[in-house]
Amino acid sequence: MDKRTVSSAHERIDGLEKEVIAIKTEVRIQFKDLFGRVKRMETIMIGTTGFIIALLVAVLMIEVLALASAVSTIAGGISSAIQAGKDVNSVMPQFGKLADLEAQIGIAESGKHKGPLGRLSASQNEGYAIASAKLAHKEAMDRLRSDCRLYGSPGLWESVVHETAKARKRHKDALEEQAAKRDKIFYFVIVVVAVLLCALGTAGLFWGAAILAKEIR
């Protein structure tokens, strides 16, 4: 093999090395751009998911820490009205509010007032607040029973018990329905986001592989 042949072979090798380096550089740039786009899309999707989840949490917002004081306030107003001789029609809406609060206490005790993520953690303060609200409601109903029988018209307490039972069930069913809808939407959003992220990652890999194959050819 003469020197010209050897020199020509070295030149071709050098040329191939330069082409390989150029291809590597181009592929690196392409992949960097690709992953940057994927990262931006992931950030947008995660941010959107967080916003949707925040909206879902607001669908069933129960102020657990304020339940006990709300019960005491409403019960105090009812007690004053009964002692003042108000008729059943004037106090029944307030008893309806107590029934709503009782339903909220029950939902909070079951943890359904929080979404699936919120139920993974329990706050000690929230637990105390729920126990305090239950006690406040029991004491309020005991006091109002005495007021109805002492100051109210005959049969007032029996009417209250009958109507509040129906109101409590209506409120409880409505709250549970809202909680169920919220949880279904939450899981749907999580599944959709997971599928989209997987699809996005897979598409990115295929795109990158296609770019690499094109550059190699």
> What's the average model confidence in pLDDT over 23-32?
62
Longest dimension (CA), the chain: 125
Q: Exposed, middle or buried, 108 (CB in 10 Å: 0-12/13-18/19+)?
A: buried
105 with 137: CB under 8 angstroms?
Answer: yes
Residue 136 reports pLDDT greater than 60: yes
pLDDT band at 58 (very low <50, low <70, confident <90, very high): very low
In a 3-state reduction of DSSP, which class is residue 1? coil
Is the pLDDT at 73 greater than 50, yes or no? Answer: yes
* Tens digit of each residue's pLDDT (9 = 90 or more) over 105-120: 998 888 877 766 666 5
Q: Answer for the pair 163, 144: CB distance below 8 angstroms, yes or no.
A: no
pLDDT of 170-215, one tens digit each? 999 998 888 888 888 878 877 887 777 777 777 666 666 665 565 5
The torsion region of residue 155 among left (phi > 0), alpha (psi -120 to 50) and beta comes to: left
SS3 of residue 96 by DSSP: helix
Measured between alpha carbons, how far is 68 from 144 in angstroms, rounded to an integer?
A: 16
Tell me the pTM.
0.62
